[in-house]
Structure 1
Amino acid sequence: MELFFYAVPVIMIGFMAYAAYLLVRRARRISRTWQHGLTAEARCLRSYTTTSGGGGDTSVHTTLHHVYEFTTREGRTVRFDEGNGPSTIVEGDFVTVRYLPEYPERATALPPSRTKLALGTGCGLAFLGVAISFCVVFITVAHMMFTESDGLLP
């Protein structure tokens, strides 16, 4: 029983630390693409939405996706899907995309906005930090309860 109070929060901390790593990696990739990427004109081939959440008592989150296609400077045709794009872009529109020559499939049509990227990443990291802190406090309190009661909860 005592193992449950330690193992579950430690596993949760592991998942949240990995999520923080992915969040920072994504922000660095997008920032690098904005700063060092090449530009190309892309055409929006399709837009669609996805929903997440259960509905009912829980909230539903809708994400707008766009499918773009462009040709790299080397003549390679690349098609990619990007979420959270502007709702003003519709099928057939032309947009400027930025891509790194070594990873053209990781292109982005998001306009450079370092402030928005930093705020979004910072808020995500703050949320994960609070959640990790809660897990650490939970483990500490559980440990104190187990040591005071000789391994048995009251």
Structure 2
Amino acid sequence: MIRHGIMFVIGGAVLVAASAALGTAVVRGIRRQRRTLARGLTAEARCLETYVTHDGDHSSSTRHVILGFRTQDGSEIRIEDTSRVPRVVGDVAQVRYLPDRPHRAIVIGSSPMIFGWTLLTIFCLLLACGSALSFMKGYGVFDPTHPTDPSTVFPNPDDPFPTFPWPTY
């Protein structure tokens, strides 16, 4: 039988690692977008196609816009416009791209998703903190049910028969 604390250690370690990986991916995405907008090359993109997808029960739909542009070296690139600007086939938009990654172009003037990324980063931090507490609880370092008053944790040194309030499992 696995001890109760081991499950907290394993679960906490897995969640700390997952939240760290997710947080790292979010920060990399923010840095990549800022780098593209700051140092990217500008190109003129045209709306090539629009289509709508529905979820399984048709309660919501998503409109997709495909933009196409030509890089400075002559390659033709197609990207999906995530700016939510309503476009029709033939509309023109300006994009920025890095020469080594033109498929990650960003539409100029689209609002950056900093708010969403900030919320996701805060979620990752909260998940990491909660997971770390779970990890510490498994090791016995942190126990919210254990009294933290020093007079109850460390008994009076003059007491010949001290009782320690250790939790019983």
TM-score tier (shorter): 0.7 to 0.9
Match of residue 128, structure 1, among 117, 120, 124: 124
Which residue of structure 2 lines up, in the alignment, with residue 119 of structure 1? Answer: 115
The 1:9/1:102 distance shift into structure 2, 3 A limit, reads same
The 1:112/1:68 distance shift into structure 2, 3 A limit, reads closer
Greater Rg by CA: 2
Which residue of structure 1 lines up, in the alignment, with residue 11 of structure 2? Answer: 8
TM-score (norm 1): 0.74
Structure 1, residues 9-60: CA drift from partner, whole Å, max 9, x if none?
21121111111111111111110110011111111223345677x98xxxx8
Task: Find the aligned partners of 2:27 and 2:44 in 1 and give their Cα distance.
Answer: 28
Structure 1: state its 5+ residue gaps. Answer: none
Bigger Cα displacement from structure 2, 24-33 vs 61-70? 61-70
Structure 2: state its 5+ residue gaps. Answer: 144-165
Which residue of structure 1 lines up, in the alignment, with residue 96 of structure 2? Answer: 98
Match of residue 138, structure 1, among 134, 140, 157: 134
The 1:71/1:86 distance shift into structure 2, 3 A limit, reads same
Which residue of structure 1 lines up, in the alignment, with residue 107 of structure 2? Answer: 109
Letter in 2 for 1:130: L
Letter in 2 for 1:123: L
The 1:61/1:122 distance shift into structure 2, 3 A limit, reads farther
The question of whether the paired residues in 2 share the 8 Å contact of 1:48 and 1:64 is answered with yes
Deviation at 1:98, TM superposition (A): 0.6
Identity %: 28
1:66 and 2:41 correspond: no
Higher helix share: 1
Which residue of structure 2 lines up, in the alignment, with residue 34 of structure 1? Answer: 37
TM-score (norm 2): 0.69
Match of residue 21, structure 2, among 9, 14, 18: 18
Q: CA RMSD, aligned part only?
A: 2.9
- In the TM superposition, structure 1's runs of 4+ consecutive aligned residues that sit over 3 Å from their partners are 47-52, 60-65, 116-120
Deviation at 1:96, TM superposition (A): 0.7
